[in-house]
Amino acid sequence: MHFDWETFTYDSEWLREAVRIEDEADCDISAGFDWGANLGAVMAHPERYSQLARLRSIVIREFKELLVDWNLGVGAEAALICGRGLLMERLLHPTPEVQERLLAVLEKDLASPEGDSSSKPLRAGLQELLQGILTPEDWELIAVTAGNSVREQVIERVQTAKTA
């Protein structure tokens, strides 16, 4: 499944495949959040869900800015996709300290006049937190993914030049 957290949209091919599978099974197949008994709480406090979505947006934006600052060139998009997935995986069960720091970021964002979480100290602290959330192995995978993207670009350019 591909879900774009920045635009909150599903990949259309994935969605078609999911519908096909449900049709074959003749039932709904659930994946992702298991609201179950918690659905009532979500419906009673929809602002909490929107705040969670806002926090995810802030986290992904700051991760993207971190990569931009590192000037990864053609490898940046691959690094972003890989890192975004790893971040979301790590944030499924954050430590109490990480939860506390992320909630502080959200509170500052919500308290600012237009939901502006772009102050330099806040951004620097969040980027530092994000660097710590990902493990050394995660960073290695992000680096390898970005490097492979650069390698593929170089090979593609060389092959294109040879055939021209």
In a domain? residue 44: yes
In a domain? residue 19: no
What confidence tens digit (pLDDT) does each residue in 82-106 have?
A: 999 999 999 888 888 998 898 888 8
> Residue 50 pLDDT more than 70?
yes
* pLDDT score, position 1: 46
In a domain? residue 21: no
> Residue 48 pLDDT more than 70?
yes
pTM equals 0.68
Give me the domain span that covers residue 43: 33-163
* pLDDT score, position 36: 56
Please compute the mean of the pLDDT values over residues 75-80 and round it to a whole number. 95
Q: How many domains does the chain have?
A: 1
How would you write the chain as a 3-class SS string? CCEECCCCEECHHHHHHHHHHHHHHCCCCCCCCCCHHHHHHHHHCHHHHHHHHHHHHHHHHHHHHHHHHCCCHHHHHHHHHHHHHHHHHHCCCCCHHHHHHHHHHHHHHHHCCCCCCCCHHHHHHHHHHHHHHCCHHHHHHHHHHHHHHHHHHHHHHHHHHHHC
